[in-house]
Amino acid sequence: MVDILPNPPEDRFGQNPETEPHILSNQESTDYVLDWWQPLLLLVGLAVLSLIVMIITRSNTSMRMSAFLTESFAFLVPALIVIFASRVRRSPQLRLGKLVTLTRLALLVIIGFSSTCAVAILTDVANDIYPIPKSLLEHMIELLWADSTAGLIGVVITVAVVPAIAEELVFRGILQPSMIRIAGVPGGIGLTALFFSMYHLNPWTFVPILIVGVLLGLLVHWSKSVWAGVLTHFGANLVATTFTNSHESMDYEILTQRESPVIFLLGLPVALAGTYIFYRLVRGEEHSVHTAEPGD
């Protein structure tokens, strides 16, 4: 049986990133990183394909089904094909890596949920400056509102699960390593977050998504696993589902209500504390690898 994720070869310094994980803390190995233009071309192609599929499916299905089909078959499936058909499949970031404990997995979901609550106030500011069109909010209600348990499961899969996997594989799994290679760690994470926010084509959430995108990039870079981004992204997207379905009914007036300051006051410290704890967990483990004796 062929190993679809073979061990990465030695890098140009003669060191194996799998056995010496600290090598990736300062630079991205070029063994699995695509040239900068390749992920950008992929991103453009996926955006065009997604738009085509959305236009076709929207006229024949519900908003929710259209979103599911678009994310699954116009974004996730092509991305997986590119990953396994290219050298990206050798990336150690495709493995769970340091995310092997339930505590860390749960912490990432909490970070995603709380960070989105913290930046939601920025969407209210944007809405005050330029109100969100009623037609757009009606589409959001159709996508997010569920009137049954089965419907709620469908919303979670469509809004939280599939986009988290698809978008993180593309942005943090494929694009970010290439951007880091040409712009350094801060620049690469920032550029990836910028493209991530632009992809969503929503001026009202551009800044919040940009901030969350930087956070996702940092978590993936620290942990050396794209699944850190997937779990955090899942937690972030879960906020919209939770908010919408916490009401007995949903309409334009409810959806445009300003968020309570309590959400911001609770979300921000939880997000900051969770991020710091996660950083200490993964960096502390890395430090122990550095200082361990060869025979230990």
Whether 47 is covered by a domain: the verdict is no
Distance between CA 153 and CA 134 in Å, rounded? 26
Q: Is the pLDDT of residue 6 over 60?
A: no
Whether 191 is covered by a domain: the verdict is yes
The answer to whether 286 touches 278, Cβ cutoff 8 Å, is no
Distance between CA 136 and CA 26 in Å, rounded? 43
Whether 3 is covered by a domain: the verdict is no
| 98 vs 281, residue with greater confidence | 281
Whether 50 is covered by a domain: the verdict is no
Non-local (6+) Cβ contacts of 77 within 8 A are: none
Stated pTM of the model: 0.87
Non-local (6+) Cβ contacts of 212 within 8 A are: 112, 115, 116, 119, 236
Q: Is the pLDDT of residue 177 over 60?
A: yes
Domain count, the chain: 1
- The range of the structural domain enclosing residue 206 comes to 91-291
Distance between CA 288 and CA 239 in Å, rounded? 36
Confidence of residue 17 (pLDDT cuts 50, 70, 90): very low
* pLDDT given for residue 291 in this prediction: 56
- Estimate the crossing angle of helix 102-129 against helix 206-223, to 10 degrees: 160
